[in-house]
A and B are shown apart, each in its own frame.
Chain A
Amino acid sequence: MAGYSDPGFDTLALHAGAAPDPSTGARAVPIHLTTSFVFESTDQAAALFNLERPGHVYSRISNPTNAVLEQRVAALEGGIGAITTSSGQAALHLAIATLMGAGSHIVASSALYGGSHNLLHYTLSRFGISTTFVKPGDLDAWKAAIRPNTKLFFGETVGNPGMDVLDIEAISGIAHAAGVPLLVDSTLTSPWLIKPFDHGADLVYHSATKFLSGHGTVVGGVVVDGGSFDWDKSGKFAELSQAYEGFHNMVFSEESTVGAFLLRARREGLRDFGACMSPHTAWLILQGIETLPLRMARHMENTAKVVEFLAAHPMVSRVGHPLLESHPSHALAQKLLPRGAGSVFSFDIRGSRAQGQKFIEALKVFSHLANVGDCRSLVIHPASTTHFRMTDEALVASGIGPGTIRLSIGLEDPADLIDDLKKALKAAEKAGS
């Protein structure tokens, strides 16, 4: 039943949440750079504060430009709504802080972005929230890690940079059997490659800095609720199913049968923690999303060509992309990610740490920096940057070799990318002779 009543992904990427501005006729989404919104009357003011009427009060809590972005990402993910945040890390923190407090426990994939690992392992433990890390593919380990106080399962659709694909269906099944929701970081895949809600996830978040924005210009995050998790039935979430003195004694799960999480996250989390997104940032991310389907298709095309080139190169000992049958997640990726498993992956070049450094320095099209998901191709050498203090032996134990390189494949002419890599590999080879 395609058409306006049942729009496809590409249409939603352009239109979800946005109509011509009623006061000016502006077709593009206006940037509402205002802190506050004038009340019509004292009665309306009180009603807005008490959630009797919908609308905007203060841009830390909500803003019309941000609301368009929130509706758009929710539409693309198949969720019920979303909340924009100042960064992907803020989105992760908002999700966790909404669902639990001191004494709670999380089971998380060990294949996480370093910042997320830090938050769970070091920072949240200071606040009484502990985490057990398990290998994402070890389903028995997920199950065995559950404790009576476990309140969340958490993983990335595709681990960074090893590209372990999360078996969302199996892991969400284990979580749900224990009355626990599954939160998924879908940053590296975007909803164009996979919609985690379709496979059983309950909450999804993005570092919108990456593919959603797509142009390496802004930092932002967004958390989306699939509306599928029954907080009452679980019995583990008094935060959502009991009266909350901090907000009009509201019982969020009574107020909204499917949207309790979003209600509390916005009304408590944004209000109290305050990690909101600037409307200007929201607008730039909306600009990016308008071309998300086109960009993701090109990211995947370029990645396939680069992976094929690297896999055949004599200076390359390993390419860690599920496109290749040798990758442990190849079969799962074929099932869950038929359009591709993403464009952020690692490979190992033969030789020493110095040769790895030489490779990086010789690249001209790839930019050497600490980001991914840009329209430009990016590269980083973990052994000489993020992990430079570690010995070669410690690097191997972390799954990172002295010659491991992480790439984020952009939208350039793929022939130029391959030529750049070819010349840099030659330079690395010479450095070893």
Chain B
Amino acid sequence: MKISVQGHLLYAYTGGKPFNPAQPTAVFIHGVLNDHSVWILQTRYFAHHGWNVLAVDLPGHCKSEGPPPQSAEEAADTVIALLDALKIDKAALIGHSFGSLIALEAAARDAVTHPGRVSHLVLVGTAYPMRVSPALLDLSVSAPFKAIDMVNSFSHSTLAPPPSALGPGTWLYGGSKALMRRVLASNPQSNVFYTGFKACDSYKGGEAAMPKVACPTLFVLGSADQMTPPKAAQSLIDLCGKPTVVKLPAGHSLMTEAPEGVLQSLKDFLKP
């Protein structure tokens, strides 16, 4: 579905079910050079098990209009505006990688303006700070396809993934690479690779945001994650009031390398 948010049409995948105001809502937020489709398995499940699912394409990405967010804070405001636009009074925020910083910042901001509205926070493949090397930032501009190959290699941990988003027979290295290229091409006006990485690298609000989050928080981390290794999430875990930590045998592409593990973690955690 497309929703008018901050003057632009924002796309959100709803898992094959129409939005139902009577149900609890889960907002899924993707990372850099990704879109809603990285969450397909998990979102489709929740959409058919009593939840509204809003798996967004961030502004300026694929099916969503508007300028891409220059910071996690800016994207967090968009998420909050989405909740406002749909008059949602209870929502779980689930973010992966850059999306985890957006979810964290949105949960912290919303806790001040709408106490209790964010019922659950899930940070998948997260790190704080989420540093990106200057060399990779440069490469995302000068040779983005080369940078995509580099990120793709670091995001996977196995040559033999289980059946995944497209079902059995999916080659995740190829799928991730194709998606990153597609997302990059979806915005000829702005390099969403660079802006996304820059936003990760420059986010400084983690220490202030985490203590403001009043709801239960789940950390889903990949034990073989080279992009955001589990130890890089420790500073947030230490600042979190109600942390639950799950480590799965996967790399950074958790939702596709460990789709069942991520789903089970979410099912255990997201009790409406």
| A55: chain B residues within 8 A (beta carbon) | 163, 168
| Neighbouring A residues of B165 by C-beta, 8 Å | 54, 256, 259
Q: Known: A1-B153, A62-B167. Is A53-B174 also a contact (CB below 8 A)?
A: no
* Interface contact B171-A62, CB-CB below 8 Å: no
- In the complex with contacts A248-B16, A256-B37, A16-B169 CB distance below 8 A: no
Given A51-B44, A256-B37, A79 contacting B160 (CB threshold 8 A): no
8 Å CB contacts to B: which residues of A282-332? Answer: none
Q: Is B168 touching A66 in the complex (CB atoms < 8 A)? A: yes
CB pair A258–B179 under 8 Å, yes or no, is yes
Tell me whether A75 is interfacial, beta carbon within 8 Å: yes
**Most chain-B CB neighbours within 10 Å: which of A63, A67, A230, A262?**
A67
Q: In chain B, what residue has the closest Cβ to A267?
A: B167
- Residues facing B in A233-287 (CB within 8 A) are 248-250, 254-259, 262-263, 266
A110 to chain B minimum Cβ distance, whole angstroms, is 31
Query: A12 contacts which chain B residues (CB < 8 A)?
Result: 159
A15 & B160 in contact (Cβ 8 Å cutoff): yes
Task: Let me know if A24 is at the binding interface, CB within 8 A.
Answer: no
**B178–A52 contact, CB under 8 A?**
no
Instruction: Say whether B266 faces chain A, with CB atoms less than 8 Å apart.
Output: no
**Residues of chain B with a CB closer than 8 A to A418's CB:** none
Instruction: Tell whether A266 pairs with B169 under 8 Å between CB atoms, given A5-B154, A67-B163.
Output: yes
**Given A1-B153, A70-B168, A75-B173; A228-B178 close (CB under 8 Å):** yes
Instruction: Report the interface size for chain A: residues with CB under 8 A from the other chain.
Output: 52
Contact A257/B35 with A52-B44, A53-B41, A54-B260 known, Cβ cut-off 8 Å: yes
Q: Flag whether B125 is at the interface (Cβ < 8 A).
A: no
List B194-217 residues whose CB lies under 8 Å from chain A: none
Interface residues of A in 1-31 (CB under 8 A from B): 1, 4-7, 12, 15-19
Chain A stretch 56-78: residues in CB contact (< 8 A) with chain B:
56, 62-64, 66-68, 70-71, 74-75, 78
> Is B171 a contact of A54 with CB atoms below 8 Å?
no
Closest to A260 in B: B166
Q: Which residue of B lies closest to A5 (CB)?
A: B153
Looking at the assembled complex, report how far the CB atom of A304 sits from the nearest CB atom of chain B, in whole angstroms: 32
CA–CA, A416 and B137, complex, Å: 58
| Interface hits, B134-193 → A, CB 8 Å | 149-150, 153-154, 156, 158-171, 173-175, 177-179, 181-183
**Cα distance, A52 to B164, chains bound together (Å):** 10
18 contacts between A and B (CB under 8 A): A1-B149, A6-B153, A12-B159, A53-B259, A54-B165, A56-B163, A56-B168, A66-B168, A70-B168, A71-B171, A74-B174, A81-B175, A227-B177, A248-B16, A255-B40, A256-B166, A258-B178, A262-B166
Q: Give the interface of B toward A (CB within 8 A).
A: 13, 16, 35-37, 40-41, 44-45, 48, 62, 149-150, 153-154, 156, 158-171, 173-175, 177-179, 181-183, 226, 259-260, 263
Known contacts A16-B171, A63-B168; 9 additional CB pairs below 8 A are A17-B160, A47-B45, A54-B259, A62-B168, A74-B169, A74-B171, A226-B178, A228-B178, A258-B175
